[in-house]
Amino acid sequence: MGVLTWGWISRRMEEQVLAKALTHINKIIETMKYVNEVMASFKRGVVSEVESNFKKVHIAEKEADEIKREAIKELSEGYVHPIDREELIRLILTTDDIAAFGKSAARKATMISPNDIDAEIKDYLVVISSKIAEATTLIKQALEAVSKEPRKALEIADNIERIEEEVDDIRAEAIVKILKFCEKSKISSCIIAKEIIDSLEQSTDKCEDVADVIRSIAVMRT
């Protein structure tokens, strides 16, 4: 089989995996929407809603895991250049981490009464989780553009990075509030508040990591 034929097969396989990656990111978007709803319920202090929305997070994240496994299986069975395969695997695994850290944040919100957390801190949780939801939507747009409009994908990746930087600033403000909150609250409440913030930040960091992978894929197509 000639080099051109192998190249065509490799590119077709890449496109199939990118299509699977789009299905995967749709499920990540759904997961993070539910994470945002967990934080909104937590802010309102409605424990039953926190728990019911967490169940939705759990189901959506589990479904994302299934899609991830299917995509990795396809990559292992089809011909893709080793460098391209590495980038595509990194894309799928890192995208999956967004939901994993989001789920972790949502789970921690079920471990404590919302009434034990300062109202301003809960505001930060809602803002940050909404920023992550926004970033995941941008990831989808970048994936849709990466094959035919790689320069557009690069621009969208820059916007994802800006969201991550914005969240870093918001988290810094939140930590100041948490430190003050810790001076007068139960140690368990203090720990959970910081743990939720940290998990949300890690989810945002993964959004930036995905943007970096998209940049790498896009550059190979420019």
* pTM given for the model: 0.90
Handedness of CA 176, 94, 28, 66 (dihedral sign): negative
Specify the number of domains making up the chain: 1
Average pLDDT over residues 10-29: 81
State the CB neighbour count (10 A cutoff) for residue 168.
Answer: 13
Say what the pLDDT of residue 12 is: 65
Cβ proximity of 99 and 62 under 8 Å = no
Average pLDDT over residues 113-121: 94
CATH of the domain at 150: 1.20.58.220
Handedness of CA 63, 139, 73, 89 (dihedral sign): negative
Q: Is the pLDDT of residue 209 over 90?
A: yes
Q: Which residues contact 142 (CB under 8 A, 6 or more apart)?
A: 152, 153, 156, 157, 160, 211, 214, 218
Say what the pLDDT of residue 151 is: 95
Q: Is the pLDDT of residue 34 over 90?
A: yes
Say what the pLDDT of residue 80 is: 56
What confidence tens digit (pLDDT) does each residue in 44-100 have?
999 999 999 999 999 999 999 999 998 888 777 765 554 477 888 899 999 999 999
Higher pLDDT, 1 or 137: 137
Span between the terminal Cα atoms of the chain, in Å:
27
Say what the pLDDT of residue 176 is: 95
Give the whole-angstrom CA distance, residue 208 versus residue 8.
31
Say what the pLDDT of residue 1 is: 42
Average pLDDT over residues 21-31: 95
What confidence tens digit (pLDDT) does each residue in 137-194 have?
999 999 999 988 999 999 999 999 999 999 999 999 999 999 999 998 889 999 999 9
Q: Is the pLDDT of residue 3 over 90?
A: no
Give the whole-angstrom CA distance, residue 206 versus residue 109.
20
Q: What is the dihedral of CA 54, 59, 63, 69, to 10 degrees?
A: 80
Say what the pLDDT of residue 194 is: 96
Q: Is the pLDDT of residue 2 over 60?
A: no
Q: Is the pLDDT of residue 41 over 50?
A: yes
Full domain range(s) for residue 17: 3-219
